[in-house]
C-alpha cells in the first residue's frame, strides 16, 4: 500500500461519523479546485468525488493503488459511497477495493452510504459482502433491548447546533428539544467505547433536581447516542464570562445548587459517584436560573474500594484548571477531588476570572501540586461571613481535611442567611421612613385649616 498523503484533501461530503459537518444546504461543499500537479493517489480521490469513471479507469490501469488512504483513513470507495456514485463504487470493487475499510472515525463505505441514503450504493456494497458496523452494546434477543432505548429515526438533527465541547448537539426528539451526545472517533477508540458504556450505566442511576436528567440512548445501532434534557440557558462558564464577578448572595445561591447536586452523587447508594470533571462548562443552567451538574464522561463509581486511580496519567489536553492535584499526580483519590474543584468554581464566581487566569493551562496543575492556590484579589468584604474560609478548607492540600458536601451545604446555608439579614438591615431605615410618612398622612389628612382654626371633616 502506498504511503498516506501529506495533506488533507477536501471532499464534497464528510465521513458520516466525523464530528462536524460543513456542508452547504444541498449537502455538497462546492466545486473542488484541481492543482496543476497532483499525485495519482490524490487524483483518484478527487475523481471518485466527481464521479469521473473514465479518469478512474485510466488511473487504475496505470497501477494506482485502489486502496490508497488519506490522512483521515478514507479510501476512494468511502468518497464514492458518500457521493452516491454507484458506477464508481462498482468499478472500484471490481478493481480490488476492500469492501469494509474503516476511516479514522470508524466509518465504513456502507455506513456512509446508509447515512446519505444512497440506496443503489448500499445494494452494491452489500452484494459484495459489506457488513454494517455492529454497535458494541447490541443485543441478540429483542427482549433484551434496554427500556431506555430510543429509535434513532425519532431523533431529528435538522437545524441542529453544536453545544458543549463539540460532542453534544441540540436535536428534536418527539417534538422536544434535547441534548444528544455522540463521542468523536468512537469506533476507533476502545477507551471511548468503554467510557460511553460507563457513563450510560451511571446516568440510569441518578435522579436529582440539580443533576441533568437522562432521557434515553441509542445503543442498538450506529451512531450510538446519549440523550439528556436540553437546558437552553447554557453552561456556567458562558454565564460567568458574560456576567463577570457575581455578588456574594448570588454566588452562594448558585454554589448551593452545585453542592446539592454533588452531595447527592457522593451519598448515592449503594455506590458513591465521583464526578472527577467538575468545572463551569459541565454545570448547566435551567430556565429558572438554577444549576445542574452534567457530563459524566470521566466519572467514577466507588463500588468496594474507597478510592480509585486513573488508568494512565491525566494529560490535560482539555482542561486541568479545576482538577485536584492528586488526580494530576496520578495518585489514588476519592470524592474529595470534587470538593477541590468546587472551591475553585466558588472563588471564580466571586473573582470574575478563572483560577490562575494569568497562567498557561499546563502550568496550573503544577501550581496546585506545589501547594499554590489562586490569589484572593477581590475586596475582602466580598469574602465575608466565612466564604473565604470555606474556599480554603475545600482546596486544602490534604484531601481528608476537606469538608464533605453535606458540611458545605450547612456552611453555605448559614452564610446565605447572614447575607439575607444584612440586606434586611439595609432596607429597614428606608421602611421606617415610609411608615412614619404614612402615619403622618393618616393622622392629619382629616384636618382642614380655615381662618386659623381647624375643623374635623368627620
Q: Within 10 Å of residue 153's Cβ, how many Cβ atoms?
A: 8
Secondary structure letter of residue 293 according to DSSP: E
Find residue 273's DSSP bridge partners.
Answer: 301
Find residue 95's DSSP bridge partners.
Answer: none
Distance between CA atoms of residues 240 and 233, nearest Å: 12
Cis peptide before 223 (omega within 30 of 0): yes
The dihedral through the CA atoms of 264, 265, 270, 272 has a sign that is negative
What are the cell numbers at 212? 441533568
Instruction: Establish whether 277 is a catalytic residue.
Output: yes
The dihedral through the CA atoms of 263, 372, 324, 235 has a sign that is positive
Name the helix (H) or strand (E) containing 225.
strand 225-229
Contacts of residue 65, defined as CB under 8 A and 6 or more positions apart, other chains included, come to 1, 2, 41
Kindly name the residue from 277, 295, 334, 338 that is annotated as catalytic.
Answer: 277
Please report how many Cα atoms fall inside a 13 Å half-sphere around the Cα of residue 5, on the Cβ side.
23
Secondary structure letter of residue 349 according to DSSP: H
Show which residues are catalytic. 277
Amino acid at each position: 500500500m502506498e504511503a498516506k498523503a501529506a495533506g488533507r484533501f477536501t471532499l464534497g461530503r464528510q465521513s458520516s461519523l466525523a464530528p462536524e459537518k460543513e456542508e452547504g444546504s444541498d449537502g455538497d461543499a462546492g466545486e473542488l479546485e484541481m492543482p496543476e500537479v497532483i499525485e495519482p493517489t490524490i487524483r483518484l480521490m478527487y475523481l471518485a468525488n466527481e464521479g469521473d469513471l473514465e479518469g478512474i479507469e485510466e488511473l487504475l490501469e496505470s497501477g494506482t493503488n485502489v486502496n490508497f488512504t488519506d490522512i483521515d483513513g478514507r479510501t476512494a470507495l468511502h468518497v464514492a459511497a458518500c457521493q452516491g456514485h454507484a458506477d464508481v463504487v462498482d468499478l472500484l470493487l471490481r478493481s480490488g477495493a476492500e469492501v469494509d475499510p474503516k476511516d479514522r472515525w470508524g466509518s465504513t463505505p456502507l455506513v456512509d452510504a446508509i447515512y446519505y441514503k444512497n440506496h443503489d450504493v448500499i445494494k452494491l456494497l452489500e452484494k459484495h459482502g459489506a457488513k454494517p458496523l455492529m454497535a458494541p452494546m447490541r443485543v441478540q434477543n429483542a427482549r433484551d433491548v434496554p427500556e431506555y432505548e430510543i429509535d434513532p429515526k425519532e431523533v431529528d438533527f435538522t437545524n441542529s447546533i453544536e453545544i458543549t465541547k463539540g460532542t453534544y448537539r441540540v436535536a428534536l426528539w418527539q417534538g422536544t428539544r434535547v441534548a444528544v451526545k455522540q463521542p468523536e472517533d468512537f469506533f476507533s477508540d476502545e477507551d471511548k467505547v468503554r467510557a460511553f458504556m460507563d457513563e450510560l450505566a451511571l446516568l440510569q442511576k441518578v435522579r436529582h433536581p440539580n443533576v441533568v436528567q437522562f432521557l434515553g440512548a441509542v445503543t442498538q445501532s450506529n451512531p450510538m447516542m446519549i440523550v439528556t434534557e436540553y437546558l437552553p440557558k447554557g453552561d456556567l462558564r458562558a454565564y460567568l464570562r458574560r456576567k463577570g464577578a457575581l455578588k456574594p448572595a448570588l454566588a452562594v445561591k448558585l454554589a448551593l445548587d452545585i453542592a446539592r447536586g454533588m452531595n447527592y452523587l457522593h451519598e448515592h447508594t449503594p455506590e458513591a459517584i465521583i464526578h472527577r470533571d467538575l468545572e463551569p462548562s459541565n454545570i448547566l443552567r435551567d430556565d429558572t436560573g438554577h444549576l445542574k451538574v452534567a457530563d459524566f464522561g470521566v466519572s467514577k463509581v466507588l463500588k468496594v474500594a474507597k478510592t480509585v486511580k486513573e488508568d494512565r496519567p491525566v494529560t490535560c489536553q482539555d482542561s486541568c484548571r479545576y482538577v485536584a492535584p492528586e488526580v494530576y499526580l496520578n495518585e489514588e483519590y476519592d470524592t474529595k477531588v470534587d470538593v477541590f474543584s468546587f472551591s475553585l468554581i466558588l472563588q471564580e464566581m466571586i473573582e470574575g476570572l478563572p483560577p490562575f487566569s494569568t497562567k498557561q493551562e499546563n502550568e496550573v496543575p503544577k501550581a496546585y501540586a506545589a501547594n499554590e492556590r489562586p490569589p484572593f484579589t477581590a475586596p475582602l468584604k466580598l469574602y465575608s461571613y466565612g466564604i473565604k474560609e470555606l474556599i480554603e478548607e475545600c482546596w486544602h492540600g490534604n484531601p481528608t481535611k476537606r469538608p464533605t458536601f453535606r458540611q458545605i451545604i450547612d456552611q453555605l446555608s448559614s452564610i446565605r442567611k447572614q447575607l439575607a439579614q444584612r440586606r434586611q438591615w439595609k432596607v429597614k431605615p428606608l421602611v421606617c421612613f415610609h411608615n412614619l410618612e404614612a402615619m403622618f398622612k393618616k393622622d392629619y389628612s382629616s384636618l382642614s385649616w380655615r381662618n386659623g382654626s381647624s375643623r374635623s371633616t368627620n
